[in-house]
Amino acid sequence: MDKPCTLLVHFDKGSAAMANEIKADLEGSDVAAKVEAMKRAVMLLLNGETLPTLFITVVRYVLPSEDHTIQKLLLLYLEIIDKRDAAGRVLPEMILICQNLRNNLQHPNEYIRGVTLRFLCRLSEPEVLEPLVPSILENLEHRHHFIRRHALSAISAIYRLPHGDQLIPDAPELVERALASEQDASARRNAFLMLCLCGQERAVAYLFSNAERVTEWPDLLQMAAVDLIRKVCRSPNRADKGRYIKIIISLLSSPSTAVVYECAGALVSLSSAPTAVRAAANTYCQLLSSQSDNNVRLILLDRLNELRTAHRDVMVDVVMDVLRALSSPNLDVKRKVLDLVLDLLTPRNVEEVVLYLKKEVVKTQSGELEKGGEYRQMLVQAIHACAVEYPEVAGSVVHLLMDFLGDTNVAAAVDVVLFVREIIETNPKLRVSMIQRLSDTFYQIRASRVCSIALWILGEYSLSLSEVESAITTIKQCLGDLPLFTLSEEGETTDSSKPTQPMVNSVTVSSRRPVVLADGTYATQSAATEAISTLPVTAGSLASTLNLRSLILSGDFFLAAVVACTLTKLVLRLEEVQPSKAEANKACTGALLVMTSILQLGLSSYLPQLIDNDSYDRIVLCVRLLCNTGDDVRKIWLQSCRQSFAKMLAEKQFRETEEMKAKSQISHAQPDDLIDFYHLKSRRGMSQLELEDEVQDDLKAATGGFSKETDDANRLNRILQLTGFSDPVYAEAFVTVHHYDIVLDVTVINRTKETLQNLCLELATMGDLKLVDRPQNYTLAPESSKQIRANIKVSSTETGVIFGNIVYETSNVMERSVVVLNDIHIDIMDYISPATCADVTFRNMWAEFEWENK
């Protein structure tokens, strides 16, 4: 049978043979040896040894010692030894201890008195405590606050014992008198806590009588007062709620951040009045800006997010205060701030928010920020979300963001180009300037995926003659001179874009390694370097603009196919807008030359690997299309692609709108619910906050805001019958699954006319489930019931099984009886919740899986 434990010390070097050594040291006169012996004795007892013969030695040789360390260890020893026999009666030897404890409570040394009083807090034997009560009460009036503090704790602990009100019947009254005259902060807190637990009316009366001076109380006492208010206001009858709220509001100006934080939480739980919620939100924002600990900031952001869920209209006003937390260097804090702010956007504040985010993007260019690339990516995603919801702000940021298309952080650059793609479709007014800017900055792009999307944008949205010609020119400049390679007389392949110089080394290096693609499959990646010139390449020279050429020569034939498709679209559109047939034919010939050069490169031995079949077929299709174009094909290439993209955006917006509608259609009130008209209420003697609180309470009552009960049918579905109706013991379990915790509330009913002794619910688990609590024994009266709670931890997402039995004894049967329980199957779906995840986020998480990287 398990025993209550108030002390735990790990000790794995003990042995039963050590008991003789301990006994010898305790009987000696060396104080240091006695201290070590007592420490070893305590640790052995805590780890399962009994040491039955040691008690008399301790009484004879340790009890008379005046050394403070020995006395403290003696109290620890007395705390953990068995004080009752097998029948539950107090051992007679304990009487020997009573006189010593009484002497300690009257000892001239304050430390001895204090630690003895603290020891009595953990004593639960009324037979030992009863003779000590007068001495404990005398210490309430001791001159030293250390003793008074622990005397109050001891009185509280004794009074809360099963029959404690018989040991000290007037404890609440004594403590109330002590509290009125006490000056020490800790002693006052202990006294107030005792009244909160054992005489709540007295504690409330004390609080109201000192309501004007609560702000002057020490922070320990203020925390206790806030806890009392929370506890009192949970009861259905909350007549004085207005007075409690006034006290909480006054405590918001406390110098203690812990008190202020607790007050803000209590205020929100007490009242839904806009004034109260606004005060709590402002308090959280002040703490957010003043606290430097990232964990504290994350907790505060969680509280603000909870406020946003219930009181969005009030939270909208503090959105700029929340944004200031972006000054934190921690990325998790920044991410939470941005997520919270995006949920608080309104037409009134969106411009201000975007302007702030724009300034933060500019800051990331300086390179001073740690992980600036990741932060920039988060900012781009946030601005993207703002622009999608409020298109009118896109124009102020899109040109700034397009400077980051060549960002070294590929993920940030991809987010920018996806943002550009969506804005250019949804904001036709910005199309001309964005296409012009994209053509000007295209050469800066270094990532293949960004190039692919940018080429698609150029191919779809270059509509006028000048735009089409500019796009074709840009692509050709980024490809460089054709052909892409030449075969020299010696049979060596060289890059034809390099000028013929005596100091050019033609070097080709390749590396082949598997990479994880977006869908989780593997592919082989090869890289080839171009000929390396020993001549210096100046900034802005030809080499710095040949981004497409470099990527294609590294073996990226998917990008080459995108180049071919983009040139095909541009040529087809040029034929529509170019009046000169000769110019159109010239552009068509140039495009065909580019495509044939790519095909020639892909089929040559210049690169370590040949062109893949998909890219080859796609480029050949483009060649055939330019040689023989029909009206139907022209329509598909010039119109259908953009129509499909517009349809995808429309479906995405429709899906989001439907989700918002579904959330707003949840019914809060039943047809026959009572509605209270607050206009008819008396307003005399009520402050503005109290009036608002009354109104909000009435509204919540009318809309079902107070009815927190879950659906009864859902509760019944989670009740599992563990035994049969004809078994002597009937048991059923209510299963609650919360994240990685499973709680079983088992109701056990004695169906017999006999008392069941040592009844124990024994549970075992199969799978990655772990039982947290050890089983305890209970005594069950005839036809009575008992609620037993079992906690189980889940260590992995696998289906597990809980099984076990109920074991008990009866007075007329010597053997123990066993009732086998039905198995409880814990399904994996019980602790997996559905959630949405963006495609880019999923790919990033997939790539970060440790087993993938191995």
646 lies in some domain:
no
The CB-side HSE value for 396 (13 A sphere, CA atoms) comes to 17
Give the pLDDT mean for 230-249: 76
> Are residues 473 and 572 located together in one domain of the fold?
yes
What does the DSSP 8-state code read for residue 538?
A: P
H/E element holding 770?
strand 769-771
> Are residues 739 and 598 located together in one domain of the fold?
no
pLDDT at residue 729 in the model: 92
Residue 501 pLDDT grade (very low, low, confident, very high; cuts 50, 70, 90): very low
Query: How many structural domains is the chain composed of?
Result: 2
> Are residues 635 and 720 located together in one domain of the fold?
no
Q: What share of the chain has pLDDT > 70, as a percent?
A: 82
pLDDT at residue 208 in the model: 87
> Are residues 632 and 725 located together in one domain of the fold?
no
SS3 777: strand
Last residue of a domain, one of 639, 654, 669: 639
Residue 779 pLDDT grade (very low, low, confident, very high; cuts 50, 70, 90): confident
**DSSP letters of 354-411?**
HHHHHHHHHHHTTS-STTHHHHHHHHHHHHHHHHHH-GGGHHHHHHHHGGGTT-SSHH
Residue 508: is its pLDDT beyond 50?
Answer: no
**DSSP letters of 411-476?**
HHHHHHHHHHHHHHHH-GGGHHHHHHHHHHHGGG---HHHHHHHHHHHHHH--SHHHHHHHHHHHH
Residue 738 pLDDT grade (very low, low, confident, very high; cuts 50, 70, 90): confident
Q: What is the distance of C-alpha 593 from the center of its chain?
A: 56
Out of 494-503, 524-533, 660-669, 813-822, give the one with best mean pLDDT.
813-822
347 lies in some domain:
no
pLDDT at residue 532 in the model: 29
Residue 527 pLDDT grade (very low, low, confident, very high; cuts 50, 70, 90): very low
> Are residues 567 and 462 located together in one domain of the fold?
yes
Token representation of residue 90: 């107090």
Residue 97 pLDDT grade (very low, low, confident, very high; cuts 50, 70, 90): confident
pLDDT at residue 521 in the model: 57
> Are residues 604 and 735 located together in one domain of the fold?
no
Residue 811 pLDDT grade (very low, low, confident, very high; cuts 50, 70, 90): confident
Whole-angstrom Cα distance, residue 272 to residue 311? 8
Domain that holds residue 573: 392-484+546-639
Token representation of residue 843: 């790919």
Q: What share of the chain has pLDDT > 90, as a percent?
A: 2
Give the pLDDT mean for 737-751: 84
| β-pairing verdict for 769-771 and 785-794 | antiparallel
pLDDT at residue 854 in the model: 54
Residue 456: is its pLDDT beyond 70?
Answer: yes
Residue 748 pLDDT grade (very low, low, confident, very high; cuts 50, 70, 90): very high
> Are residues 583 and 462 located together in one domain of the fold?
yes
760 lies in some domain:
yes
> Are residues 454 and 570 located together in one domain of the fold?
yes
> Are residues 600 and 735 located together in one domain of the fold?
no
379 lies in some domain:
no
137 lies in some domain:
no
Tens-place pLDDT, residues 306-323: 888 888 888 888 888 888
pLDDT at residue 749 in the model: 92
Average pLDDT, the chain: 78
Give the pLDDT mean for 367-394: 77
pLDDT at residue 690 in the model: 59
Give the pLDDT mean for 371-379: 79
The CB-side HSE value for 306 (13 A sphere, CA atoms) comes to 14
Residue 22: is its pLDDT beyond 70?
Answer: yes
Per the document, the length of the chain is 854
Last residue of a domain, one of 619, 639, 659: 639
Residue 526: is its pLDDT beyond 50?
Answer: no
Tens-place pLDDT, residues 469-498: 888 888 888 888 877 766 554 445 555 554
> Are residues 458 and 561 located together in one domain of the fold?
yes
pLDDT higher for 406 or 417? 417
pLDDT at residue 381 in the model: 81
**DSSP letters of 26-76?**
HHSS-HHHHHHHHHHHHHHHHTT---TTHHHHHHHHTTT---HHHHHHHHH
pLDDT at residue 16 in the model: 58
CATH number at 743 reads 2.60.40.1480
pLDDT at residue 15 in the model: 63
Tens-place pLDDT, residues 182-219: 888 888 888 988 888 888 888 888 888 888 888 888 88
How many helices and strands (H and E) does the chain possess? 39, 16
> Are residues 635 and 731 located together in one domain of the fold?
no
Residue 109 main-chain phi, psi, to 5 deg: -85, 130
Whole-angstrom Cα distance, residue 133 to residue 138? 9
Residue 657 pLDDT grade (very low, low, confident, very high; cuts 50, 70, 90): confident
Would the pTM count as exceeding 0.75?
no
520 lies in some domain:
no
Q: Is the peptide bond before 391 cis (omega within 30 degrees of 0)?
A: no
Tens-place pLDDT, residues 558-616: 888 898 888 888 888 888 877 777 888 888 888 888 888 888 888 887 777 888 888 88
489 lies in some domain:
no
Residue 505: is its pLDDT beyond 70?
Answer: no
> Are residues 420 and 555 located together in one domain of the fold?
yes
Residue 732 pLDDT grade (very low, low, confident, very high; cuts 50, 70, 90): very high
Tens-place pLDDT, residues 710-725: 455 566 777 888 998 8
752 lies in some domain:
yes
Angle at the Cα of 605 from the Cα atoms of 599 and 609, rounded to 5 degrees: 80
pLDDT at residue 522 in the model: 56
Tens-place pLDDT, residues 319-354: 888 888 888 888 888 888 988 888 888 888 888 888
